[in-house]
């Protein structure tokens, strides 16, 4: 069965600092991987996705993620964090098609001035 681990429940970074959110997955074949962001009181918005091809994926709002098969990881990065990035971030994995997508437990990002 597929699974996702986000080891960091809560992360605090200073505005302007770089950010890396960790995501490890378990899946037998090449997975479909996603990062979503949820602002307080809102639904989830897709930041980026990986299906195949280039392992470095660019997303919206200046985010990127790198798929590393050898490490079963899909970490999210941003070179310079803005106060508006404070939110909860979810990594998700699925086999594609109409199969179920499994979400991680989320990482809450706090940005301090």
Residues making contact with other proteins (CB under 8 A): 9, 32, 34, 36, 42-46, 49, 51, 90, 96-98, 100-106
End-to-end Cα spacing for the chain:
41
The whole-angstrom separation of Cα 111 and Cα 96 is 34
Q: Compare residues 11 and 44 and give the one whose CB is closer to other proteins.
A: 44
For the chain, the farthest-separated pair of C-alpha atoms sits apart, in whole angstroms, at 43
Q: Least separation, in Å, of the C-beta of 57 and other proteins?
A: 12
Q: Least separation, in Å, of the C-beta of 106 and other proteins?
A: 5
Q: Least separation, in Å, of the C-beta of 6 and other proteins?
A: 8
Bridge-based pairing of strands 107-112 and 10-14 is: parallel
């Amino acid at each position: 069965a597929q699974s996702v681990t986000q080891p960091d429940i809560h992360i605090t970074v200073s505005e302007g600092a770089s950010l890396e959110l960790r995501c490890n997955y378990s899946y037998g074949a090449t997975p479909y991987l996603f990062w979503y962001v949820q602002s307080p009181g809102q639904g989830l918005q897709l930041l980026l996705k990986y299906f195949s091809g280039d392992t470095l994926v660019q997303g919206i709002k200046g985010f990127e993620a790198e798929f590393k098969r050898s490490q079963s990881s899909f970490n999210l990065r941003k070179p310079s964090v803005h106060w508006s990035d404070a939110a909860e971030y979810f990594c998700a994995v699925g086999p594609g098609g109409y199969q179920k997508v499994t979400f991680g437990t989320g990482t809450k990002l706090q940005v301090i001035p």
